[in-house]
Amino acid sequence: MSALGDFARAYAAHAGLPEPEIGFEAELAARQAPLPLWARLSAGPCALAARWLAPLVFLGRPARFDDLEPANKDALLARLQFARAPLLRGAFLLIKIPVLGACYASRRKGA
């Protein structure tokens, strides 16, 4: 179980999205394979920080992302998405590319 996989599962559960047919780990691995090495290496630590550290930093809550109430999960994701610091938004993008790809893999053409 990877840090990215754990975050993807928690994200999907919050957004009400199903697990990909081939499972999160396989889907994420396939999506990360063509990315540059630096992006692959960075995604795990970024996901770890988003899941464990971000609730404390942005919401003042020493809790895992998974354990937050739905409204707080949305608030935390919004803080990351709406971050004005380019590096922070860039780091969140490194998680979003594989995770959102995997989470929305079964939802094509608005179906």
Q: For residues 105 and 23, is the Cβ–Cβ distance under 8 A? A: no
Largest CA distance in the chain: 39
CB of 36 to other proteins, least distance (A): 6
Other beta carbons within 10 angstroms of residue 17's beta carbon come to: 17
The CA distance from 8 to 98, in Å, is 9
Contact map string, positions 42 to 81, toward other proteins, x by CB under 8 A: ----------------------------x--xx--xx-xx
Give the footprint of other proteins on this chain (CB under 8 A). 14-17, 31, 34-36, 39, 70, 73-74, 77-78, 80-87, 89-90, 93-94, 96-97, 100-101, 103-105, 107-111
